[in-house]
Amino acid sequence: MKHIALIAACDRSRAIGKNGKIPWNIAGEQQRFRQLTTGQTVIFGRRTYEEIGHPLPCRETIVVSASRQFSGSHLQTVPTLAEALAAAKTEWVFISGGARLYAEAMPLAEMLYLTEIDGFFQGDVFFPPLLAGQFARVAEERHDGEIPYVYVTYRRYTKNGKK
């Protein structure tokens, strides 16, 4: 059985990008992404993948795009999220942006791994809002520094309302 998770970093206004780039550069902030996704499948939308520019090491990378093809070692392109999920062979599948892919995958996710940046940055792309009663905040790990942030883990409530 595949487990689906969304993984993102966002600021207090839920901004995740500006002009195709991450609007902050915080030393160590991406460490959790690497720890969680290594050995698993990461699914990106085309623009997010183009920002990165290459497959991530030690992960299967699937790009959702109807307009471009990317291929290589541990890299494939499919036209829809459904096809990306079907192509994933690992236990965990991490949806890693952009905004449209997050919104489409949100109803399927059992876990959210968010890095909540303690600040406001200029953004033009935003992580979708969390609807009340869908997810429970089950863990957090604070990191102080010039720009503080918190690694937050959310788990979807089950049908009977339990975590």
Q: What gap in Å lies between CA 107 and CA 48, rounded to an integer?
A: 20
Q: What gap in Å lies between CA 62 and CA 69, rounded to an integer?
A: 11
Residue 134 lies in a domain: no
| Structural domain span for residue 107 | 1-15+29-122
Q: Which residue did the predictor score with more confidence, 142 or 158?
A: 142
Over the stretch 66-118, which tens digit does the pLDDT of each residue have? 999 998 899 999 999 999 999 999 999 999 999 999 999 999 999 999 999 99
Nearest to 6 by CA among 134, 118, 133: 134
Over the stretch 106-138, which tens digit does the pLDDT of each residue have? 999 999 999 999 999 999 999 999 988 899 999
Say which CATH number the domain at 7 has: 3.40.430.10
- Three-state secondary structure call for residue 101: helix
pLDDT at position 163 is: 53
DSSP state of 106: G
Residue 22 lies in a domain: no
Structural domain total, the chain: 1
Beta strands of 11-57 (E only): which ranges?
Answer: 15-17, 41-45
Structure tokens at 142: 């604070």
pLDDT at position 28 is: 83
Residue 132 lies in a domain: no
Note every long-range contact of 62-68, with CB atoms under 8 Å and residues 24 or more positions apart, other chains counting.
Answer: 62/87, 62/88, 64/101
Whole-model pTM: value is 0.93
